[in-house]
Amino acid sequence: QIQLVQSGGEVKQPGASVKVACKASGYTFIDYGISWVRQAPGQGLEWMGWISSYNGNRNSAQRLHGRFTMTTDTSTNTAYMELNSLRSDDTAMYYCARDHSSGSRAYYFDYWGQGSLVTVSS
Amino acid sequence: EIVLTQSPGTLSLSQGERATLSCRASQSVSSNDLAWYQQKPGQAPRLLIYGASSRATGIPDRFSGSGSGTDFTLTISRLEPGDVAIYYCQQYGSSLLTFGGGTKVEIK
């Protein structure tokens, strides 16, 4: 069955970086993209960005530009997201999701990881 | 960026009633590229509808989506206790994806 299994939660100090892994199984990894979505405590969903597992094309929300990086490793079917210069308002549950995309842009998300809680606190 | 506004913020209905959730876009959503998700407490979201009206795999036909352009609707025909959740719309008609703020559905 299709699964996305994410790395565990992390506690980081302001200004630090965090890297979250998302290991996919049960489907051909390069046939779909991966999007990252976060949710602050008690808040709604915020799309962060998308990466094509096929050709590496990517796009991300403008407010994160310069702090947010997405990569994929097709040898291990794993996607990664890294967020730098962490602030307290980056505290959130971070989800990866299989994006029903072509190689050119993001679409919608049919399978989700279990989430990774990132807490930014001094 | 396309802004999605969902209404009402909270919908409180009796079991068996019909729930109608609205999602309005600040500009026309290309090709009706709009999806709906259900999120129960402590869980990841689940895809319900894509392409404005196509049900995702395994979604019961009590859930239906409609609309075009800037106005979209999710309808739950007969509300069940398991439908208690927050429902989000999401547009993918532009390269910068956005979500609506969500509608919370409760059972009276």
- Tell me the C-alpha distance between A45 and B71, whole Å: 20
B14-27 mean pLDDT = 98
Residues 6+ apart with CB under 8 A from A65: none
Question: In whole angstroms, what is the distance from residue B74 CA to residue A61 CA?
Answer: 26
- The whole-number pLDDT of residue A101 equals 82
- For residues A81 and A96, the answer to whether their CB atoms sit within 8 Å is yes
What residues of chain A lie within 8 A of the CB of B97, using their CB? 35, 47, 50, 106
Give B42→chain A minimum CA distance, Å.
10
A38: nearest CA in chain B?
A: B44
Contact B44 A112 (CB under 8 A): yes
pLDDT at A102 (0 to 100) = 66
Decide which of A66 and B40 is more confident: B40
Residue A44 has pLDDT above 90, yes or no: yes
Q: Distance, in angstroms, between B22 CA and closest chain A CA?
A: 16
Q: How far apart are CA B36 and CA A18, in angstroms?
A: 30
Least confident of A9-13, A17-21, A56-60, A82-86: A56-60
The pLDDT of residue B25 is: 98
3-state secondary structure of A77: coil
Fill in the amino acid letter for B44. A
Instruction: Report DSSP letters for B36-68, one per residue.
Output: EEEE-TTS--EEEEETTTEEPTT--TTEEEEEE
What three-state secondary structure class fits A24? strand
Q: What is the pLDDT of residues B33-80, one digit of tens each?
A: 999 999 999 999 999 999 999 999 999 999 999 999 999 999 999 999
Contact residues, chain B, for A110 at CB < 8 Å = 47, 50, 56-57
**For residues B65 and B73, is the Cβ–Cβ distance under 8 A?**
yes
Q: Which residue has the tokens 């989506």?
A: B65
Tell me the average pLDDT of chain A: 95
* Residue written as token pair 């965090």: A18
Q: What are phi and psi of A64, to 5 degrees?
A: -100, -5
For the segment B85-99, what is each residue's pLDDT rounded down to a tens digit? 999 999 999 999 999
Q: Is residue B93 within 8 angstroms of chain A, CB to CB?
A: no
Taking CA atoms, what residue in B is nearest to A39?
Answer: B44
Read off the pLDDT of residues A75-106 as tens digits, 9 standing for 90 and up: 999 999 999 999 999 999 999 999 988 678 88
Cβ A62–B96 below 8 Å, yes or no? Answer: yes
Q: Do you know the residue count of chain A? A: 122
CB B83 within 8 A of CB B75: no
User: Pairing mode, if any, of strands B10-13 and B103-107?
Assistant: parallel
Please name the residue that has the structure tokens 């009633």.
B17
What pLDDT was estimated at residue A103? 76
Distance CA A43, CA A92 (A): 9
How far apart are the C-alpha atoms of B24 and A17, rounded to whole Å?
36
Kindly report the backbone phi and psi dihedral angles of residue A30, in degrees, each rounded to the nearest multiple of 5, phi listed first: -80, -5
